[in-house]
Amino acid sequence: MLGLKLATDPRWAKIAEENLEEILTDHAWCEQKAASNAIHLIVYNSEHEDLVSELTEIAIEEMQHFQMVHNIIKERGYELGRERKDDYVNQLVKFNKKDGSRNMAFVDRLLFAAMIEARSCERFRVLSQNINDEELSKFYHDLMVSEANHYMTFLKFAKKYSTDVDVDKRWKEWLEFEGNLIRSYGNNQAIHG
């Protein structure tokens, strides 16, 4: 349903479970970045009332996710720690089209967001199905559902506003690029690691 070209090896979930404090810290900051991205889209595309309304909901939900992860960190006696860089997302940023019309850049930014939601959703599914920790397994299942909805929202708006873009073709390019990119990951204690 997500269209991803390469599934995550479940062995990645074992690496994650052995490094829970680090995974939770990285995860918390992923949620913050997702909220910031939704806010960025609102600020730069405020003429689209429907987008502003739905992305406001998403920004709030992402900060609620941040709060939930932070609560788990506190309950377990861990520390949030400093923001973690996300190399995978930084590589996707480079694929983001910045030339062309303002609208093309807007649509591509929506596809970029949909791409990250799709992979995050898949990673949460792999975690929920492969870790032994029952609380976290349930938690990641719930987040998987939420991120799947975000993925659909971003793709919906990309299609709606794709007046000067062949959005289906461009989405296929994103999936191809991401499928090649993710081959070099899967060995690290990070949500997109």
Q: Report how far residue 105's alpha carbon sits from residue 93's, in angstroms, rounded to the nearest whole number.
A: 12
In the complex with Fe ion, the residue whose CB is nearer, 30 or 101, is 30
In the complex with Fe ion, the residue whose CB is nearer, 132 or 155, is 155
- Draw the binding track, 99-138, toward Fe ion (x: CB under 5 A; -: no contact): ------------------x---------------------
Question: How far from 25 is each of 17, 59, 84, 144, 167, CA to CA, in Å?
Answer: 13, 19, 8, 18, 34
Q: Report how far residue 86's alpha carbon sits from residue 10's, in angstroms, rounded to the nearest whole number.
A: 20
Among 147, 155, 181, 191, contact with Fe ion (rule: CB under 5 A): 147
The helix/strand/coil state of 93 is helix
Classify the C-alpha dihedral 30-46-92-144 as positive or negative.
Answer: positive
Q: Report how far residue 84's alpha carbon sits from residue 32's, in angstroms, rounded to the nearest whole number.
A: 11
Interface segment toward Fe ion; rule CB under 5 A; list 30-38, 101-109, 134-142, 175-183: 30-38
List, in order, residues 6 or more apart from 177 with CB less than 8 Å away. 92, 95
Binding to Fe ion (CB under 5 A): which residues in 48-67? 62, 65
Give the distance from CA 81 to its chain's centroid: 20
Residue 25: both structure tokens together: 């810290």
In the complex with Fe ion, the residue whose CB is nearer, 26 or 62, is 62
| DSSP per-residue codes, 106-126 | HHHHHHHHHHHHHHHHHHHHH
In the complex with Fe ion, the residue whose CB is nearer, 31 or 86, is 31
Binding to Fe ion (CB under 5 A): which residues in 31-50? 31, 34
Interface segment toward Fe ion; rule CB under 5 A; list 81-89, 97-105, 143-151, 176-184: 143-151
Q: Does 150 bind Fe ion (CB under 5 A)?
A: yes
In the complex with Fe ion, the residue whose CB is nearer, 128 or 183, is 128
Shortest distance, position 43 Cβ to Fe ion, whole Å: 18
Binding site for Fe ion (CB under 5 A): 31, 34, 62, 65, 117, 147, 150
